Amino acid sequence: MTSSLRIGIAGLGTVGTGVAKLLQGNKTLLAERAGAELELTAVSARSKQKSRDVVLSGIAWCDNALDMAQRSDVDILVETIGGAEGVARELVTTALQNGKHVVTANKALIAHHGVALAALAEKNGVQLAFEAAVAGGIPILQALRTGLAANSFKRVAGILNGTCNYILTTMQKEGREFDDVLADAQAKGYAEADPSFDIDGVDAAHKLAILASLAYGTKVALDALYIEGIRHITRADIAYAAELGYRIRLLGVATQAKEGISQRVHPCLVPADSPLGLTEGVFNAVQAEGDAVGRVLFQGRGAGGGPTASAVVSDLIAIARGERWPAFTFRTANLAEAVRVPMEKHRCGYYIRLTVADEPGVLADITKIFAAEKISVQSLIQHTHEDNMPAQVVITTHATLEEAMQRALNTIHALERIIEKPVMLRMEMV
């Protein structure tokens, strides 16, 4: 074996350092699997003085990351800087223009600019690869692109954000409120100082948009998604869900609908004994349902230096072997436009929690409103409480249209004896 592939890493944070460690620590194994030596020749990061658990002697240091796109001793650029704009976008664009392969873990960059970058890669005869951008070390993109390529997908769904899953499962196990658990997640490093990207569903939306593109052959389009986060989930909702035999998870779901591909990110009640209900802590899980294979499950660590670096290096090995593939399964010219499917047309069962005055006739008023919208009640919980105190009523329904449920809740909220705004969560049979 005489050939080698020269690699430059832009960004030496958790992931970039993890890639460097794998390239150095597993050098012989990777060379055998790749059929070529994977040689780390250049790196770039904000600080050269920062202590890192990786050997950088003999490797070229670039103070300006953009210089890496011009280096003659770099065949593949690994981008782990992050962010949809700025240096990351300029670096990847320039590298592709200069005929260099690019491997990235940057889900925001791919969600916002992936199709344009893929077209640029095609034009210049190089590979754009981003297995690490979705679900960390879980090889879900490769599975959709190759192992499951014979299938027409009915549905792709999963837990795509480890921070949210940690918060929800800790609330479930310890009976704590959202704000308290979020602060704990931040202290442990599972959540950022500004956690909005995670808890408002944006991170999961980026990943779902990429998954849907590969599964259905559509252009990545964040504006085609419905996005709702988990800030409003309470300890009470977690407890009621458990009483009903469910757990609450933030899911990303893409399905084929009449109007197009439905793409949505929101908290759901899922059966407690289902694969997604049993996925806890910082773990991710993705289910794909094909017409030939049926339902398959991929589960593992969705973030962190080791798992994400593993995915990056898997792309490096594939490129070293000479494998080439359209970044989004189809060539960019053949990708369909993603159409936003109105959330109002979504059909599912619902969990409703109402805070009501303890007076006769309240339940009759509520069920009358549901009946007018042809909403069928599946179950009802009302616990005993102190006299003259508001009561909490929890209702689950059979499948109905979102628009009918929203009309019913607006009417219910207007009733004098409804004390707080109704809480609504969707139910997903996974």
Q: Give pLDDT tens digits for 158-202.
A: 999 999 999 999 999 999 999 999 999 888 888 888 999 999 999
Same domain, yes or no: 295 and 156: yes
Q: Please tell me the number of Cα atoms within 13 Å of 275 on its side-chain side.
A: 15
Q: What is the pLDDT at residue 183?
A: 94
Same domain, yes or no: 99 and 34: yes
Q: What is the pLDDT at residue 189?
A: 81
Domain range for 379 is 345-427
Same domain, yes or no: 289 and 156: yes
Same domain, yes or no: 169 and 126: no
Domain boundary among 106, 133, 160: 133
Q: What is the pLDDT at residue 353?
A: 96
Same domain, yes or no: 16 and 55: yes
Same domain, yes or no: 129 and 152: no
Same domain, yes or no: 128 and 149: no
Domain boundary among 85, 104, 133: 133
- Do residues 280 and 267 touch, judged by C-beta distance below 8 A? no
Residue 324 lies in a domain: no
Q: Model-level pTM?
A: 0.93
Q: What is the CA radius of gyration of the chain?
A: 24
Residue 311 lies in a domain: no
Q: Nearest Cα to 151, choosing from 161, 159, 143? A: 143
- pLDDT, tens digit, 9 for 90 and up, residues 339-362: 889 999 999 999 999 998 878 888
Residue 336 lies in a domain: no
Residue 332 lies in a domain: no
Q: Residue 381 belongs to a domain with what CATH number? A: 3.30.70.260
> Which parts of the chain register pLDDT below 50?
1-2
Q: Residue 82 belongs to a domain with what CATH number? A: 3.40.50.720
Q: What is the pLDDT at residue 387?
A: 66
Q: Residue 220 belongs to a domain with what CATH number? A: 3.30.360.10
- pLDDT, tens digit, 9 for 90 and up, residues 91-127: 999 999 999 999 999 999 999 999 999 999 999 999 9
Residue 411 lies in a domain: yes
Residue 397 lies in a domain: yes
Q: What is the pLDDT at residue 57?
A: 85
Q: What is the pLDDT at residue 2?
A: 45
Number of domains observed in the structure of the chain? 3
Active-site residues: which are they? 207
CA distances in angstroms from 395 to 129, 203, 378, 399, listed in the order given: 46, 31, 7, 13
